[in-house]
C-alpha cells in the first residue's frame, strides 16, 4: 500500500502519511471532520458513563463503564489526529470550549434516557462507525488508516453488545418492546444530521481520503434497517426533524448542562498543572 | 436471570480457567458481559460460559467419602462428552479450577472417576468440576480480534500503570 521499503520510515514524513501532503482546504476540512468524530465519541462516552452505579445489573454497569472508556479512548485518538494537524491540545478542546464550538451530533448529546434508548443510540453509533471505518477511502491516508483499524475492531464488539440488547428488548415483554419503539422514535429522526456531510466532506472525498457521503449514509441506514427488520421492527423514512439542521454546532439545551459538569473541575483552576 | 460460570483462556494452547461468574439471561448475553467483566484487561483468547446449575462439583474430601458408597449404576446410559476441570492449588487468587480433560462417560460421576483415574498420580487435586460439553457456549474464534485484542493496548486499564500496586516481581526484589 505504501512505498516506504527503500527509506527508513519517519513520523510525519511518509509519502502517504504526511499531514503536509494535504492542501490547506483539505487540512481545514479534515480538522473539522476529526473534531466532529471526536466530539461525538466524547459525549457518547460521557452519557454511557452516567450509567455507572445505575445500570440494571452489576454486569451491565461494568459493561457500560467499559464502553464509555472505549468511546472516550476513541475521542482521544481522533483529537490526537487533529492535534497532529494543527497542534491543538485535546484537553483544552474538551475542557475549555463552549457548547457552540462543539461539533457533535444531537444524537450524541441527548440525555442518557432509559436502557432502551441507551442501547438504541449505542447501536446506531456503532453501526455508523463500523460502516465509516471499514470504507476503503480511509485507508489511503496513513494516520486515518491506523485509527480506523484500531477503533473499527472495537466498534464491532460494541455493535454486538447493543444489537444483542435490541433483540432481547424486542422479544422481551410488552413493556420492553414499548420502550424500544419509543427509543427508536426519538433516535431515528436524528440520523440525517449524524450522516449529513460537513462543509468540507466533499473536498476530503475528492482528495480520496473520505467516503462519498451519500453512499455512506445509504449503507448505514440500510444496515440499521436490516437490524430492525430482523427483530420485527421497521423505521419510517428519514425525514428532517423540526429545528434540526444538518449543520453541527447548534445544540438543544442538553449540552450546556453536560459541559458544566464535564468542565467544572478543569475550569475551577485553568492554570493548574497538577491535580 | 441465572448465574453463569465464566472460563477464560489467556492464550492459544493454555487451559480455560474459571475466573468468576456473571448473571445473564441467556448464553450469548453471558458471553458478552463476561467479555466486559473478565476480558477488558489483557489477556484473553477465548471465553466459555455455562449455567452454574449445569456444573457437577466435588471436593477431594467429598470424593473420598463417596468412594465408601457404591457408585450409581450407569449401564444402559449412552456416553456423552464432559469437560473436566480441577483446582490443584490454593496459591492462585484470580482463578478457581482449570480445564484438564475432555472425557466420554455416561454420568458426571463416571467422567470424574475416569479423570481421577487418569491423574491419580496427582495428589494435589483439591476440587473438581464436571460440565457436559453441550452445556458450554464458547466465544467464536473469529470474534477474538474485536472482543479481546484491543485490550492488549490498553495499559491504562492495568493497575501496574499507576504505581500504586507494585508487581509481584518488584515485591520479591524488595523483600
Report pLDDT digits (tens) over A134-191: 998 888 899 999 999 999 999 999 999 999 999 999 999 999 999 999 999 999 999 9
Asked if B146's CB is within 8 angstroms of A157's CB, the reply is yes
Closest CA to B36 of A180, A55, A177, A80: A55
- The arrangement of secondary structure in A22-237+247-258, i.e. its CATH architecture, is Up-down Bundle (1.20)
DSSP A157: H
In terms of pLDDT, which residue wins out, A241 or A11?
A: A241
Contacts with A36 (C-beta within 8 Å, 6 or more apart), sequence order: A103, A104, A105, A198, A248
Q: CA of A7 to nearest chain B CA: how many angstroms apart?
A: 28
Which three cell numbers, joined as nine digits, stand for A51? 450509567
Of the candidates A183, A181, A188, the one whose C-alpha atom is nearest the C-alpha of residue A236 is A188
Which candidate from B1, B29, B153 shows the least CB-CB separation from A164? B29
**What does the longest C-alpha to C-alpha distance in chain A come to?**
64
Residues of B in contact with A155 (CB under 8 A): 146
Q: What is the ipTM of this complex?
A: 0.84
Chain-centre distance for alpha carbon B137: 13
**In the predicted structure, residue B115 carries a pLDDT above the cut 70:** yes
Write the pLDDT tens digit of every residue in A47-102. 999 999 999 999 999 999 999 999 999 999 999 999 999 999 999 999 999 999 99
Q: How do residues B14-59 score in pLDDT, each as one tens digit?
A: 999 999 999 999 999 999 999 999 998 878 999 999 999 999 999 8
Beta bridge partners, A248, equal: A250
Could you tell me what percent of chain B has a pLDDT over 70?
A: 83
Boundaries of domain holding B39: 2-174
User: In chain B, which residue's Cα lies nearest the Cα of A169?
Assistant: B25
Using only the alpha carbons of chain A, give its radius of gyration. Answer: 19
Going by C-alpha positions, the residue among B24, B86, B19 that lies closest to residue B48 is B19
Q: Tell if the CB–CB gap between B37 and A59 is shorter than 8 Å.
A: yes
Average pLDDT, chain B: 85
> A-chain residues within 8 Å CB-CB of B47?
none
- pLDDT bracket for residue B68 (50, 70, 90): low
Quick one: pLDDT band at residue B73, thresholds 50, 70, 90? Answer: low
Query: What's the structural domain count of chain B?
Result: 1
> What is the Cα–Cα distance from A192 to A237, expressed in whole angstroms?
10
Q: What is the pLDDT of residue A1?
A: 36
- Sketch the domain layout of chain A as residue ranges: 22-237+247-258
Partner B contacted by A171 (CB < 8 A): no
Q: Count Cα neighbours of B31 within 13 Å in the Cβ-side half-sphere.
A: 19
* Residue B121 clears pLDDT 60, i.e. is over it: no
Can you state the angle between helices A115-133 and A24-49, rounded to 10 degrees? 150
Q: Could you tell me which residues come within 8 angstroms of residue A48 by beta carbon, excluding any fewer than 6 positions away?
A: A64, A65, A67, A68, A71, A112, A118, A122
Amino acid at each position: 500500500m505504501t512505498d516506504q521499503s527503500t527509506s527508513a520510515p519517519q513520523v510525519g514524513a511518509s509519502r502517504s502519511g504526511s499531514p503536509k501532503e494535504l492542501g490547506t482546504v483539505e487540512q481545514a476540512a479534515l480538522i473539522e471532520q476529526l473534531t466532529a468524530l471526536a466530539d461525538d465519541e466524547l459525549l457518547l462516552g460521557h452519557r454511557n458513563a452516567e450509567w455507572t452505579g445505575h445500570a440494571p445489573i452489576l454486569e451491565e454497569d461494568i459493561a457500560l463503564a467499559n464502553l464509555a472508556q472505549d468511546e472516550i479512548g476513541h475521542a482521544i485518538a481522533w483529537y490526537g489526529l487533529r492535534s497532529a494537524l494543527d497542534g491543538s491540545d485535546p484537553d483544552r478542546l474538551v475542557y475549555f470550549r463552549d457548547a457552540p464550538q462543539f461539533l457533535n451530533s444531537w444524537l450524541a448529546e441527548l440525555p442518557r434516557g432509559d436502557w432502551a434508548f441507551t442501547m438504541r443510540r449505542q447501536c446506531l453509533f456503532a453501526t455508523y462507525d463500523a460502516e465509516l471505518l471499514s470504507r476503503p477511502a480511509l485507508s489511503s491516508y496513513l494516520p486515518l488508516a491506523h485509527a480506523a483499524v484500531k477503533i473499527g475492531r472495537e466498534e464491532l464488539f460494541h455493535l454486538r453488545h447493543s444489537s444483542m440488547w435490541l433483540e432481547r428488548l424486542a422479544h422481551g415483554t410488552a413493556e420492553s418492546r414499548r420502550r424500544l419503539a419509543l427509543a427508536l422514535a426519538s433516535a431515528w429522526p436524528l440520523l440525517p444530521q449524524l450522516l449529513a456531510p460537513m462543509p468540507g466532506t466533499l473536498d476530503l472525498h475528492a482528495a480520496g481520503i473520505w467516503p462519498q457521503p451519500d453512499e455512506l449514509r445509504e449503507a448505514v441506514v440500510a444496515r440499521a434497517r436490516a437490524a430492525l427488520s430482523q427483530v420485527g421492527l421497521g423505521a419510517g423514512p428519514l425525514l428532517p426533524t423540526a429545528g434540526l439542521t444538518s449543520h453541527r454546532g447548534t445544540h438543544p439545551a442538553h449540552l450546556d448542562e453536560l459541559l458544566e459538569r464535564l468542565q467544572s473541575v478543569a475550569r475551577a483552576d485553568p492554570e493548574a498543572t497538577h491535580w | 436471570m441465572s448465574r453463569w460460570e465464566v472460563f477464560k483462556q489467556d492464550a492459544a494452547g493454555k487451559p480455560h480457567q474459571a475466573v468468576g461468574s456473571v448473571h445473564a439471561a441467556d448464553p450469548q448475553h453471558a458471553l458478552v458481559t463476561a467479555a466486559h467483566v473478565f476480558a477488558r484487561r489483557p489477556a484473553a483468547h477465548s471465553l466459555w460460559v455455562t449455567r452454574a446449575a449445569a456444573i457437577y462439583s466435588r471436593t477431594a474430601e467429598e470424593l473420598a467419602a463417596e468412594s465408601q458408597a457404591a457408585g450409581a449404576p450407569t449401564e444402559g446410559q449412552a456416553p456423552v462428552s464432559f469437560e473436566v476441570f480441577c483446582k490443584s492449588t490454593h496459591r492462585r487468587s484470580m482463578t478457581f479450577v482449570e480445564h484438564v480433560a475432555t472425557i466420554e462417560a455416561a454420568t458426571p460421576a463416571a467422567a470424574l472417576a475416569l479423570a481421577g483415574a487418569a491423574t491419580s498420580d496427582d495428589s494435589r487435586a483439591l476440587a473438581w468440576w464436571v460440565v457436559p460439553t453441550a452445556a458450554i457456549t464458547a466465544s467464536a474464534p473469529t470474534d477474538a480480534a474485536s472482543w479481546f485484542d484491543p485490550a492488549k493496548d490498553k495499559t491504562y486499564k492495568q493497575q501496574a500503570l499507576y504505581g500504586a500496586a507494585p508487581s509481584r516481581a518488584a515485591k520479591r526484589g524488595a523483600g
